[in-house]
């Protein structure tokens, strides 16, 4: 049995893809930068700052870090405004309820703390996570394992005794780099074939799959 389970948020527990894309596009529209929705979707999981840098570079737009920070703050404001459009994926709450009290649980998201803290409160999820780390708490984005290693440390668990639940290639890569167990769920933008290349320990269509809790609690 693992000592701790570490969950991603966007695309894993929360169905936030549409809200994230709309928030990025509105922020970018305010500085007259255009990009496809898919460009944004394929970068969910590396953090807003890194995504904005990628977009501005590809658009050959001159920018500095103050510009990036303003865009991140604006995107976060817009995302919070759209909270009522965010739903939990099927099986998410049930899985957390099944694990509650049986294993330490943390949330490790490359979204920003203002967004995550607001959503956890709005969706009544705060009780499930003793530790919440976000992009604001780290120096290196996923696929660097920093956010998972820091979460494990704060949970008081050794990396090899932790399991990560993720939807993105970046997250699975980070989990494997951290030498943690990994469950990949197909609720993000990545296909089973893409995720298989990163060798997660288990791939499921949704968190309703009973194998997720069984793997976490009985490995």
Q: Is the pLDDT of residue 219 over 80?
A: no
Predicted structure pTM score: 0.95
Please say which residue of 35, 58, 84 terminates a domain.
Answer: 84
In the prediction, which pLDDT does 205 show?
Answer: 98
Q: Is the pLDDT of residue 9 over 80?
A: yes
pLDDT tens string 23-63? 999 999 999 999 999 999 999 999 999 999 999 999 999 99
C-beta separation of 213 from 95 below 8 A: yes
Co-location of 170 and 135 in the same domain = yes
- Phi/psi for 107 (5° steps) reads -115, 130
Average of pLDDT values for 59-88?
A: 97
Reply yes or no: is the peptide bond before residue 143 cis, omega within 30 of 0.
yes
Co-location of 104 and 152 in the same domain = yes
pLDDT tens string 148-184? 999 999 999 999 999 999 999 999 999 999 999 999 9
Co-location of 10 and 25 in the same domain = no
Instruction: Write out the residue range of the structural domain in which residue 56 sits.
Output: 17-84
pLDDT tens string 180-210? 999 999 999 999 999 999 999 999 999 999 9
**Number of domains comprising the chain:** 2
d(CA 199, CA 209): 19
Region of 191 on the Ramachandran plot (φ > 0 left; ψ -120 to 50 alpha; else beta): beta
In the prediction, which pLDDT does 12 show?
Answer: 98
pLDDT tens string 101-160? 999 999 999 999 999 999 999 999 999 999 999 999 999 999 999 999 999 999 999 999
- Phi/psi for 72 (5° steps) reads -60, -45
In the prediction, which pLDDT does 93 show?
Answer: 98
Length of the chain: 219
d(CA 80, CA 69): 17
Q: CA of 83: how far to CAs of 16, 118, 123, in Å?
A: 9, 8, 9
Co-location of 65 and 173 in the same domain = no
CATH of the domain at 21: 1.10.150
Co-location of 212 and 126 in the same domain = yes
Please say which residue of 55, 84, 113 terminates a domain.
Answer: 84
* Assigned token pair, 5: 């389970």
CA atoms 25, 144, 129, 91: torsion sign: positive
Classify residue 38 as exposed, middle or buried by CB count within 10 Å of its CB (0-12, 13-18, 19+): exposed
């Amino acid at each position: 049995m693992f000592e701790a389970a570490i969950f991603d948020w966007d695309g894993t527990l929360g169905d936030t893809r549409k809200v994230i894309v709309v928030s990025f596009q509105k922020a970018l529209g305010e500085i007259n930068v255009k990009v496809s929705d898919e460009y944004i979707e394929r970068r969910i999981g590396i953090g807003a700052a890194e995504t904005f840098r990628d977009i501005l570079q590809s658009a050959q737009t001159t920018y500095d870090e103050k510009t990036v920070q303003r865009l991140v703050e604006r995107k976060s404001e817009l995302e919070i405004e759209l909270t009522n459009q965010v739903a939990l994926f099927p099986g998410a709450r049930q899985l957390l309820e099944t694990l509650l009290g049986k294993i330490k649980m943390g949330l490790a998201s490359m979204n920003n703390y203002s967004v995550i803290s607001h959503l956890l409160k709005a969706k009544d999820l705060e009780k499930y996570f003793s530790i919440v780390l976000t992009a604001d708490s780290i120096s290196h984005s996923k696929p660097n394992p920093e956010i998972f290693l820091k979460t494990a440390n704060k949970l008081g668990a050794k990396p090899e005794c932790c399991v990560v639940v993720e939807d993105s290639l970046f997250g699975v890569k980070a989990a494997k780099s951290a030498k943690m167990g990994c469950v990949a769920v197909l609720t993000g933008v990545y296909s089973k074939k893409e995720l298989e290349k990163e060798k997660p320990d288990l791939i499921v269509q949704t968190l309703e799959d009973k194998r997720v809790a069984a793997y976490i609690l009985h490995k």
